[in-house]
Structure 1
């Protein structure tokens, strides 16, 4: 399926948020997915991921996750300077601001004739965390969280909005988690902690651990695993088209 792309600037309580829209050339309404990037924002690998999902018949929105802290269109490089800036941004932005970002995107979707009302969330790294955060919204029916960081460590500023994992019991979505066993950012002790809290919260979730490093979905660099990436896209297609 061919894909059309556009950019919109949505109004949020914390300022304008640029969102990339990947729209399949479809003749009937389709499900939507909120796709959350790494700390580097909408890089070329994230754009290709969005296009891949849209090509499956999904309306994909990709927000600039740190829009309060950067000029519109900012993309950080995959180098030490980009990593340092991205990490500083994630430690600065309160979790509650992602909640209002999600409300702005859901409001935007409500005006789109191509949206059929079904909604999923997906993300990588910090974006995996934000996909789970999005699943706290009642409209989100499924979330695919790829090697989500900062869940087990509670290292993101929460304030009155609460830490994401502590609130996971509020979610009614079907949750899917995929971790790399060789990922130093979410070691085995962290994975067991996340799994235990999910079980205690009695949420619906699937759990996968694969032999891969962190960022194995990023199709740039030596950690990329094409075979695993294809398997993930197949899982995403099944999850979101069957919501």
Structure 2
């Protein structure tokens, strides 16, 4: 399964993206939206896994405006400090604009069927929600998105399918925030939301402190079924 790093040129500047290609000539694409640790081994592994499932996966460097090429882990205090500095400096609106450029780029790729989905984690979970409300992505999935509760008004713009995975014990998304999100989205025809009892933030991050194998398997299975349904 071949992979490469490409450069996208936009009116705001150039940034890179990791691309993993499936074995077939034409496939739906999925934009993999990073956590606060940049395009690191975990994100590349997710992209590679999607390529193994038959998708053209692309993971853009969304921190490029602050500092290009961030690739850190969740294993040291210094890296966590760096990650939160990046998170606090990040402009989500500019990030969604970059994701829209990525969608346009990968949709025009000769290896793309024309359908493009998005999946995001943590910061990327919020961006997946905004990708669903602000871009022409065909289907989006957000895992434990941080800050969605302050953006739920955007659901009025949602016209394409969105799936959210919410960790019930998420230390970064308190119960009150979860209640706001679920209440705002519960009657929307395009939204499917799942909650995971006993799970903390990043329960699907392989190798992470709060990784929950059973919950990750369940959520990932739901996501793949969702993409098969909407990107075929």
TM surpasses 0.5:
yes
Q: Which has the higher contact order (CA 8 A, sep 6+)?
A: 1
Give the distance between the partners of 1:198 and 1:221, measured in 2 at CA.
Answer: 29
Q: How far 1:14 moved relative to its partner?
A: 3.1
2:177 to 165, 178, 190: 190
Partner Cα distance (1:6, 1:141) in 2 = 24
* Other-structure match for 1:81: 78
Note the 1:126-137 alignment, pairs <5 A: 126-137=123-134
Matched, 1:179 2:176: no
Structure-1 residue corresponding to 2:142: 145
1:47-88, Cα deviation, whole Å (9 max, x unpaired):
1111111111111110112111113x3212322222222222
Contact in 2 for aligned 1:32/1:120 (Cα 8 Å): yes
Give the alignment's TM-score, normalised by structure 2: 0.91
Q: Deviation digits for residues 128-172 of structure 1, max 9, x if unmatched?
A: 1111111124421211111100122x4xxxxxxxxx432222121
Partner residue of 1:64 out of 61, 65, 69:
61
Alignment RMSD: 1.8
Runs of 5+ unmatched residues, structure 2 = none
1:23 is aligned to: 21
Query: Where in structure 1 are there 5+ consecutive unaligned residues?
Result: 155-163
Q: How many residues align?
A: 228
Is the 1:53–1:233 Cα contact (8 Å) retained in structure 2?
A: no
Stretches (4+) displaced over 3 A: none
Q: Relative to 1, partners in 2 of residues 1:111 and 1:204: Cα closer, same or farther, differing over 3 Å?
A: closer
Tell me how far apart the structure 1 counterparts of residues 208 and 122 of structure 2 sit (CA, whole Å): 16
Alignment equivalent of 1:228, drawn from 191, 197, 215: 215
